[in-house]
Chain A
Amino acid sequence: MLCRVAEDIFWTSRYVERAIAVGRLVAVTWHLELDAGDVGEGDYSEFWTPLLGPEVADEAVERDAHGHPRPGAVRHYLTFDANNPSSLVSCIRGARNAARGVRESISSEMWEQLNTLYLSLAEPRQAVEAAEDPHVFSARVVQATQLFFGLADSTLAHNEPWHFVNLGKYLERAENVARVLTLQGHLLLAGGEHTQGGDDLVRWLAVLRSCGSAEAYARYYSLRVEPARVVEFLLLNPVFPQSVRFSLNQARRSLEAITGPTPMHRHLDMPSPAVRALGRLQGRVEHAAVDEVLEEGLQSYLTDIRNQIAEVADHVTRGYLRYEPQPGRLVAVARAAMLMAAQQQQ
């Protein structure tokens, strides 16, 4: 398929998956706020501020007298702010614009689903509805976007375009789960001034719900929610579709379908840079145990995972979406020889 088409499909899929993640995060945090009872507006910002992440500029969100972002403003930033490239509406717009450029390559059902959602978000009453009841609004958008993937699975032939949908979806999902754990990691760390028995449980559950994983967790462990198990479940579970490990395995399957198997008689050839980068990343997750992850430090482990996901996406872009020649084994050997020569001279 055309590189340009592959790129637009890959990004349509990533934007849609991102919208799902943002939508869930908003809905779950809204519930956290409700569960916390009436503690005054300042305290709610404790739930919402972390969602902004470190990369958001101070002036992007309206703040109160103490400099805390207002919860309503954070919600708006995450849902309807067209200036935030990762807001719900921006994700849907991005997905729809990319899909519009390749509508002949995806199914009509997929395109109509996205286009209808996009048009419905453009209606003025949507912003009001979203401000009044973030839960209903987010749930509706999440459902509509999930339907998009359902349609992709059932209306596209499972060949190259579908594999690009899958690759985009699962790389984005792995990144999103790692990001949620980064942003909400503080909810998992016990202690702090709010520790009052049941309170913690609500927060830990919120982390699971942000990844759509609470029910599956309960069924899988049938044990009390514990932060360590939450981390294990979301990062390392091999069979649950929202875990990082599962997502990377799926991404690997689609990437290999795209690159094609390396034939036996070419056993001296290397897999492409994208396959190698994804393989390294998979190994980092596949061969990890949750205690080792925490020993290393959850945040630094997550940062490393996210950096490696970005690296894989970068190699996919250069190798398949941009039509750049890929360095092969001969280049690697030649470069290695140069490096050895340089080291001998030192």
Chain B
Amino acid sequence: MIGATAADVGADGSAVMPAYDPSGFWDEMAEGPGRIRPHYAALARHLATLGPDEVARRQRAAELSFQSRGITFAVNQGQEGVEKIMPFDLIPRLIRPDEWHRIERGLAQRVRALNLFLRDVYHDQQILRQGIVPWELVLSASVYRREFRNVDVPLDVYTHIVGSDLVRDASGEFFVLEDNLRTPSGVSYLVENRRVLKRVWSRIFHDYEVRPVEGYPQDLLEVLRSLAPPSAEEPTIVLLTPGVFNSAYFEHAFLAKAMGIEMVQGSDLFVDDGAVFMRTTQGHQRVDVIYRRVDDDFLDPLVFRDDSLLGVAGLVASYRLGRVSLANAIGTGVADDKAIYAYVPRIIRYYLDEEPILPNVPTYLPTEADDLGYILEHLDELVVKSVNESGGYGMLIGPHAPQADRDEYRQRILADPRGYIAQPTLALSRHPCWVDDHFEGRHVDLRPFVLFGREVRVTPGGLTRVALRSGSLVVNSSQGGGGKDTWVLAE
């Protein structure tokens, strides 16, 4: 129904969206006060038939379902091993087919270019020789693994699993905010959120044609199989987890189960004569492909951090010999380094000879003289991010920070220009969320997942992350962010 308004759907007083006001932000659901976007009309109509009690009841039912299924994450800071459910908002975010089509093409383009870049910087380094990307920026990155220079990887693919973060600004345009090329997490929530929402909103679900996301684990399995060394006829694939105290442990178990592969810890594996084996009740068994959810630094105490108990001694040597495959490859961090990020549009043009479909957020690098001056003058407008941290840590949000913090970051930037980047503060788009007993707008982003084996495949959906605190721009789950199901509508 085109032209439905919040006013008419909310006429009976029991409605839950009587006077929702996007208040100047780009709102995913409402174009303006009382004006619902057409693809949200059916959802708004259904919500209008429910009283606040009913919405609250469904919210509780959804939370209970997450709790009993143990869909929890461990909180990194504070007490070890405390399990929390991911805060969940039950109003789905809808994406139009045409919007999705662009996202899909843009991400595929980006992931292809970044893999060509990775192959290049670990082989001939043409892009550095030609000065398209400053060589010192790549070679100075702590995540550039010079040990892997001239090591070939299966299919020349480095990043088999990518979780990119997209945002929309006040004009409604999608930007890529970050590429996560190491061990991105969150895909289990994508599948589980959908499962729960299907139960909670079965009637609304009926009114929309939503593209399914359940296929992700099978697609991932296919990618992992495609990486197996040619000698392995029936490859043994395992998922390497840091263990139950890892914040993404639920996801590791979820994926291992859905793919029907063993979930192993470092202590379950050993390397003998250049090959990797796992300790089983029937003796040892050869392992061919490892989907590792352990960071590079902890993979192998012989090569990286020698205090790591999570890894396997000798794993890297076996990998270099091509006796075992890793997903993602080692050293991919050099392509999602926040400073390299600024060069991704140029990387796309260089390797693909195409214009980027999804734009970058403008990024200022303190290593470039012009940018540095601009950053220091505009600290109260910019977001400053440490290139070595993630999860919303090590970040200054200029407009909201006290002067003391800005002064501190000024010193830090001057002391370590390679360690920081700055970006304008985006007016992230908002989406109505259920707060106490009514709807309020909250800032959201979008993390779709991209698989790359023999071809690039973007799962039609994504984790919409919500900054649940009013006015907050930080959506990371470790910082009080929550999740929403994301419905990509079929054409």
Query: Residues of A at under 8 Å CB distance from B?
Result: 1-6, 100-101, 103-105, 108, 111-112, 115-116, 119, 160, 258, 260, 320-321, 323
17 sampled A-B residue pairs with Cβ under 8 A: A1-B262, A1-B280, A2-B264, A3-B268, A3-B280, A100-B70, A100-B244, A101-B243, A104-B252, A104-B253, A104-B263, A105-B262, A112-B68, A112-B70, A115-B68, A119-B67, A320-B281
CA separation between A6 and B279, bound complex, in Å?
Answer: 11
Closest A-B pairs by Cβ, 10 of them: A104-B256, A104-B257, A323-B279, A104-B253, A320-B281, A103-B253, A104-B263, A116-B68, A115-B70, A3-B279
A-B contact sample (14 more), CB < 8 A, given A112-B68, A112-B69, A321-B281: A2-B268, A2-B281, A3-B280, A100-B244, A101-B243, A104-B253, A104-B256, A104-B257, A104-B262, A105-B262, A105-B263, A115-B69, A119-B67, A119-B68
With a cutoff of 8 Å between Cβ atoms, the chain B residues found around residue A119 in the complex are: 67-68
CA separation between A79 and B281, bound complex, in Å?
Answer: 34
Known A100-B244, A111-B70, A112-B68; judge A1-B265 contact (CB<8 A). Answer: no
- Name the contact of A4 in the complex, choosing from B68, B252, B265, B282 (C-beta under 8 A): B265
CA separation between A345 and B353, bound complex, in Å?
Answer: 89
CA separation between A2 and B241, bound complex, in Å?
Answer: 14
Q: Are B69 and A4 in contact (CB under 8 A)?
A: no
* Residue of chain A at shortest CB distance from B264: A2
With a cutoff of 8 Å between Cβ atoms, the chain B residues found around residue A160 in the complex are: 281
With a cutoff of 8 Å between Cβ atoms, the chain A residues found around residue B265 in the complex are: 4
The answer, yes or no, to whether B294 is at the interface (CB within 8 Å) is no
With a cutoff of 8 Å between Cβ atoms, the chain B residues found around residue A112 in the complex are: 68-70
CA separation between A166 and B68, bound complex, in Å?
Answer: 25
Q: Are A2 and B280 in contact (CB under 8 A)?
A: yes
CA separation between A112 and B67, bound complex, in Å?
Answer: 10
Give the contacts of B220-274 with A (CB-CB under 8 A): 243-244, 252-254, 256-257, 262-265, 267-268
The answer, yes or no, to whether B475 is at the interface (CB within 8 Å) is no
Known A1-B262, A160-B281; judge A103-B70 contact (CB<8 A). Answer: yes
CA separation between A3 and B265, bound complex, in Å?
Answer: 11
Q: Are B244 and A258 in contact (CB under 8 A)?
A: no
Q: Are B281 and A258 in contact (CB under 8 A)?
A: yes
By secondary structure, the B interface counts as mixed
- Name the contact of A3 in the complex, choosing from B68, B253, B254, B281 (C-beta under 8 A): B281
* Residue of chain A at shortest CB distance from B81: A97
Q: Which of B263, B278, B281 has the most CB of A within 10 A?
A: B281
* Residue of chain B at shortest CB distance from A114: B70
With a cutoff of 8 Å between Cβ atoms, the chain A residues found around residue B253 in the complex are: 103-104
CA separation between A156 and B257, bound complex, in Å?
Answer: 13
Query: How distant is A208 from chain B, measured CB to nearest CB, in Å?
Result: 35
CA separation between A4 and B244, bound complex, in Å?
Answer: 13
* Residue of chain A at shortest CB distance from B69: A112
Interface residue count on the B side (C-beta < 8 Å): 22
With a cutoff of 8 Å between Cβ atoms, the chain B residues found around residue A100 in the complex are: 70, 244
Q: Are B281 and A1 in contact (CB under 8 A)?
A: yes
CA separation between A221 and B244, bound complex, in Å?
Answer: 50
Q: Fill in one digit per residue for B123-147: 1 if any A CB lies within 8 Å of its CB, else 0.
A: 0000000000000000000000000
With a cutoff of 8 Å between Cβ atoms, the chain A residues found around residue B243 in the complex are: 101
Q: Fill in one digit per residue for B2-23: 1 if any A CB lies within 8 Å of its CB, else 0.
A: 0000000000000000000000
Query: How distant is B256 from chain A, measured CB to nearest CB, in Å?
Result: 4
Q: Fill in one digit per residue for B310-334: 1 if any A CB lies within 8 Å of its CB, else 0.
A: 0000000000000000000000000
Known A104-B253, A104-B257; judge A2-B279 contact (CB<8 A). Answer: yes
With a cutoff of 8 Å between Cβ atoms, the chain A residues found around residue B68 in the complex are: 112, 115-116, 119
CA separation between A112 and B257, bound complex, in Å?
Answer: 14
Query: How distant is A244 from chain B, measured CB to nearest CB, in Å?
Result: 26
* Residue of chain A at shortest CB distance from B244: A101
- Name the contact of B267 in the complex, choosing from A4, A105, A115, A321 (C-beta under 8 A): A4
With a cutoff of 8 Å between Cβ atoms, the chain A residues found around residue B280 in the complex are: 1-3
Q: Are A103 and B281 in contact (CB under 8 A)?
A: no
- Name the contact of B268 in the complex, choosing from A4, A258, A320 (C-beta under 8 A): A4
With a cutoff of 8 Å between Cβ atoms, the chain A residues found around residue B254 in the complex are: 104
With a cutoff of 8 Å between Cβ atoms, the chain B residues found around residue A5 in the complex are: 262
Query: How distant is A4 from chain B, measured CB to nearest CB, in Å?
Result: 6
CA separation between A4 and B280, bound complex, in Å?
Answer: 8
* Residue of chain A at shortest CB distance from B83: A100
CA separation between A112 and B265, bound complex, in Å?
Answer: 23
Query: How distant is A303 from chain B, measured CB to nearest CB, in Å?
Result: 31
* Residue of chain A at shortest CB distance from B256: A104
* Residue of chain B at shortest CB distance from A321: B281
Query: How distant is A247 from chain B, measured CB to nearest CB, in Å?
Result: 21
Q: Which of B67, B256, B282 has the most CB of A within 10 A?
A: B282
* Residue of chain A at shortest CB distance from B239: A104
With a cutoff of 8 Å between Cβ atoms, the chain B residues found around residue A115 in the complex are: 68-70
CA separation between A108 and B250, bound complex, in Å?
Answer: 12
Q: Fill in one digit per residue for B351-389: 1 if any A CB lies within 8 Å of its CB, else 0.
A: 000000000000000000000000000000000000000
CA separation between A160 and B279, bound complex, in Å?
Answer: 15
Query: How distant is A331 from chain B, measured CB to nearest CB, in Å?
Result: 17
CA separation between A258 and B69, bound complex, in Å?
Answer: 30
CA separation between A100 and B265, bound complex, in Å?
Answer: 14
CA separation between A224 and B256, bound complex, in Å?
Answer: 55
Give the contacts of B63-108 with A (CB-CB under 8 A): 67-70
- Name the contact of B262 in the complex, choosing from A2, A103, A258, A320 (C-beta under 8 A): A2
CA separation between A260 and B254, bound complex, in Å?
Answer: 30
CA separation between A1 and B264, bound complex, in Å?
Answer: 10
With a cutoff of 8 Å between Cβ atoms, the chain B residues found around residue A4 in the complex are: 265, 267-268, 279
With a cutoff of 8 Å between Cβ atoms, the chain B residues found around residue A101 in the complex are: 243-244
With a cutoff of 8 Å between Cβ atoms, the chain A residues found around residue B281 in the complex are: 1-3, 6, 160, 258, 320-321
Query: How distant is A92 from chain B, measured CB to nearest CB, in Å?
Result: 14
* Residue of chain B at shortest CB distance from A117: B68
Query: How distant is B401 from chain A, measured CB to nearest CB, in Å?
Result: 39
CA separation between A2 and B239, bound complex, in Å?
Answer: 13
With a cutoff of 8 Å between Cβ atoms, the chain B residues found around residue A103 in the complex are: 70, 253, 257
CA separation between A258 and B252, bound complex, in Å?
Answer: 27
With a cutoff of 8 Å between Cβ atoms, the chain A residues found around residue B252 in the complex are: 104
Query: How distant is A1 from chain B, measured CB to nearest CB, in Å?
Result: 6
With a cutoff of 8 Å between Cβ atoms, the chain B residues found around residue A2 in the complex are: 262, 264, 268, 278-281
With a cutoff of 8 Å between Cβ atoms, the chain B residues found around residue A1 in the complex are: 262, 280-281
* Residue of chain A at shortest CB distance from B284: A323
With a cutoff of 8 Å between Cβ atoms, the chain B residues found around residue A116 in the complex are: 68
Query: How distant is A319 from chain B, measured CB to nearest CB, in Å?
Result: 9
Query: How distant is A326 from chain B, measured CB to nearest CB, in Å?
Result: 10
CA separation between A108 and B282, bound complex, in Å?
Answer: 25
